[in-house]
A and B are shown apart, each in its own frame.
Chain A
Amino acid sequence: MEPGQIPYLPRGVRLHRDRVRDAWVLLAPERAVSLDMVGHAVLSEIDGIRSFGEITAALAARYDASPAQIASDASGFLRALRDRRFLEVHP
């Protein structure tokens, strides 16, 4: 994902706190994707307003890492979500 792109969760895809398994999941059509810490951190920043660059910068500050590191840690996960249309971007 490019730093200038604005990611958003399309309708029908939402974060959910799974109280039985004590974990975060992404609920989407026919799927429940369990989230690790990075996945959950990135998805909970996605608001359809801020760009991917702004999000990685915010997370970098919080976790004391470089934005490039955050972006690369999350890239495979985000690509998989986009391939399944669980995540979309405004150009």
Chain B
Amino acid sequence: MSERATESVGQSTAEEQFFKDEHPANRPAETGDPMGMTAESAPGDPELMLTILVEEYASLGMNADEIMRIFDDPFYGATANLKRLLGEDRIRTRINEVVQNCGALRVSVRS
């Protein structure tokens, strides 16, 4: 930890702050805290994002089950976050709707 980071968390040491058994999202904001949240709310439609991501993967040739697997994997941030936000049922329904519309185009590649 750099000197500045230690200073910015006030009384407690940097170590105490970092390892506090508390989820960072629930911590109160602190001025100068290098871990502080800087997010701003922005107008965006997660439903539209979901539809478009599913369309992209359907047009790459993935079927409904294969697309669902991208949403199940916690290491795929975009899709995993959508699933957490909208719920598994909503995702599954949307995938089925889109795939029914698009079909799954299979892309063949020969190197």
Q: Does A associate with B in a complex?
A: no
Residue positions of B touching A, CB distance < 8 A: none
